[in-house]
Structure 1
């Protein structure tokens, strides 16, 4: 990866993210996270197709599908990441990461799909296991 002189220092970005976490607890009394927002988004989509079934699912009774501060936080992450990438000059549309292409080649669509799916399952399982 080419390091541009306008790119953010990972130490500064990590430190600022840590401060946001501390201040969210001090000011709002809540930790921030993202996995519940994905579940709520799934519930919002489910409401479009079968709202009566959603009311029968115990999990969606506990974690109501709604747009709340945490959901907006995830939207803010997406917008902030886009703005940071654009302002640093590091934004580019890329279908295949350079590291993957160098290691596995460019004709590994099936392998990429399987690895991405397994990675997503593991990440969401861990996040939900930690109630995060």
Structure 2
């Protein structure tokens, strides 16, 4: 087995194991999930702590977050899409797909609300337009005068 040194970059497998540890997985769970021997997972964890210069696995997870080894933002959903937009970035394809799914879900909810309470949805829509400064529909007399003048 190769000796790890402090400051060396983590391998993809080491990062994968560190992420699992950060999410609370135990060595046995990680070994089963990745189809590795328990001792291999233990060796990878030791290598990670050495490379990061950590005193413990908890410290290794902390250092990994500080160094940006874990992605902090969400991807593939509405929150990921919003995070991209907040950072003034073009959203990735996964976030676009998540945003489309979110919008479809919202449309479906509005349709269901319209079927169950059509009058309430119309009033809510009319109220929303009023907030933006649009004129509320009148009693009809104005429309009749406008037609007569035209």
- The alignment's TM-score, normalised by the length of structure 1, stands at 0.26
Q: Relative contact order (alpha carbons < 8 A, sep ≥ 6): 1 or 2 greater?
A: 1
Please say which structure displays the higher CA radius of gyration: 2
- The alignment's TM-score, normalised by the length of structure 2, stands at 0.24
